[in-house]
Structure 1
Amino acid sequence: MTDKTTTTTGKTAKPLASQTLFRGLEVVAAVADGCRTVKDISEKTGITFSTTHRLASALVEVRYLRFEPRKGYRLGSRLVELGFMAYRESAVTTTARPFLEELAAQTLDTVHLAALDEDEGIIYLDKIGGKRAIEVNTRIGGRKPVCSTSVGKALILDDGRAAWKKRFQQEIEKGLAGRLTEDEWLGAMANYAAKGYTFDMDENVDGIRCVGAPVRDASGEIVASISVTSTDAYTDEARMREVIPLVQEVARKISIQLGAGG
């Protein structure tokens, strides 16, 4: 009887193929994280220099990576294509888009759509730029912490105090939590959960303020969140409170389109 990891000829084709696939994905992820040379990628992934060079060269051939002399490796055009395909096929993103545009037009501020990416914090699914003379340093596909962002807080409103405390402590350990103490943050979360909105008062980036609200699907689960983002030059606390019902109404409209009750 042959071993499960081998073929009748003694080859280990499937395990080797899987290992190669996973290593190739690690190489792509390392480049996405800013590694530009084979040496950098090898050190980041722990894959040997020779194997890293072979995988990177193969990925360049199929356009998952590109290589420029003196500049190094970058993500390739095929990944861009796949990213836009995934973006277009996202039910939440396509459903939310016109409502996000409506909210941006109402407020003149930058509007975000985000989802929870488990251990990686939140990921931005969409962004509508505002009309203010400011630059909000976020991008579709970018990631931010949960506890210091309004979209992050909105995504975990249903989790309850024990889960909130655990997540806050995890982000503290990673150096990602904002300026609030644990007790202050937990108190704020209890208030947000009761009222159905969230604030970011300069907690993630100095001078940036946001109002967020959760988006729910047919099961009533929070599947995304939205926010209006501006600077303290345009948005004092009174302005933020004016924006709350606008954000909540748009979140409600998106939720209804996803099957949630009105």
Structure 2
Amino acid sequence: MWVEAFEWNMTAGDTDDSPRTLKTVSVAADVVEAVREHGSVGVTELADLLDLSKSTAYIHLKTLEKNGFLVQRDGEYEIAFKFFVIGEYARHRSPLYRYGKPEVDELAEETGQYTHIVTEENGFGINLYQVKGETSISDDYQSEKPQHRDHLHYTASGKAILAYLPRDRVEEIVESHGLPARTDNTITNPDDLFAELEAIRERGYAYNDGEEIEGFRAIGAPIRNPKGEVLGSLSVSGPASFMRDERFHEDLPERITRAVNVIEVSLNMNSHA
């Protein structure tokens, strides 16, 4: 019976052009995401959220708990620190993080503002490393950014990455994730986005002028390998009052692109070591 259930799960929902997947694993992933989104959940709440029977919800929760991915406290299940360990392992394996970290630290110290290394995964931006500068504004939104994936079209770091991805890949990302608005300044039209990406390629870096948060600006530059393939981006963000005139249009772009050059040289040298 178990084998039959396994086979059904393995082929359920498959089409001729789609890879085989395990339905049970997909449900487990949905369970983890639901727990993360809500902070903690009980069996009944999870069953309602995912339209599962209580017995199925209970089995998934207990299985994830037994394998160390969830912990139970007072009848509610929460994300376990095992994910932190796995995440740190993945981050430290990234050359972009290893060779970008020193430049992020230095840039944050020089500018006093939030500085980020971002990479793209599954069409979203992932903050590999972020440092808060001494004079940057303290707020939950910025401090929690590493805990969430960003849409790429409304951040400077994301647009810097999109500008150097193949056009068909960008079209795929737009089709899959859309262009949701965060502010009145967010680009929500595909034609406008592709025009912006062309301008980014011409100048070599991207701007975010209140497109993610009103009154907040950022500058991001792509980090590429010798083949020209984009690996991620480096960005600095802060209030518009800090990023004004020459500082926004000349000083910071020059400093960021210099830091990117150092990262790229380190990546290239060590790839040939």
CA distance in structure 1 between the partners assigned to 2:136 and 2:147 by the alignment? 23
CA distance in structure 2 between the partners assigned to 1:243 and 1:256 by the alignment? 20
CA distance in structure 2 between the partners assigned to 1:188 and 1:194 by the alignment? 10
1:153 alignment partner in structure 2: 159
Residue aligned with 1:256, SS: helix
TM-score of the aligned structures, taking structure 1 as reference length = 0.82
AA paired with 2:196?
A
Residue segments in structure 2 that go unaligned for 5+ positions in a row: 11-21
CA distance in structure 2 between the partners assigned to 1:233 and 1:258 by the alignment? 34
2:259 alignment partner in structure 1: 250
AA paired with 2:206?
T
**1:104-183 map, 5 Å:** 104-119=108-123, 121-135=124-138, 137-138=141-142, 139-159=145-165, 174-175=180-181, 179-180=185-186, 182=189
When residues 169 and 84 of structure 1 are mapped into structure 2, their CA distance, relative to the original with a 3 A threshold, is closer
When residues 141 and 114 of structure 1 are mapped into structure 2, their CA distance, relative to the original with a 3 A threshold, is farther
Residue aligned with 1:200, SS: strand
1:3 alignment partner in structure 2: none
Q: Is the 8 A contact 1:216 1:258 kept in 2?
A: no
Residue segments in structure 1 that go unaligned for 5+ positions in a row: 1-5
Residue aligned with 1:24, SS: helix
Residue aligned with 2:108, SS: helix
Q: Is the 8 A contact 1:145 1:152 kept in 2?
A: yes
Tell me, yes or no, if structure 1 residue 204 matches structure 2 residue 209.
no
Following TM superposition, by how much is the alpha carbon of 1:210 offset from its aligned partner in structure 2, in angstroms? 0.4
Q: Is the 8 A contact 1:216 1:224 kept in 2?
A: yes
Q: Is the 8 A contact 1:114 1:226 kept in 2?
A: yes
> Paired residue for 2:30, among 19, 26, 33?
26
**1:4-153 map, 5 Å:** 11-12=3-4, 15=7, 18-34=22-38, 36-69=41-74, 72-119=76-123, 121-135=124-138, 137-138=141-142, 139-153=145-159
Tell me, yes or no, if structure 1 residue 191 matches structure 2 residue 194.
no
CA distance in structure 1 between the partners assigned to 2:173 and 2:66 by the alignment? 41
Q: Is the 8 A contact 1:112 1:127 kept in 2?
A: yes
Residue aligned with 1:103, SS: helix
TM-score of the aligned structures, taking structure 2 as reference length = 0.79
User: How many pairs are equivalent?
Assistant: 251
2:14 alignment partner in structure 1: none
Moved more, 193-202 or 134-143: 134-143
**Pairwise CA RMSD of aligned residues?**
3.0
Residue aligned with 1:219, SS: coil
| Residue identity (%) | 20
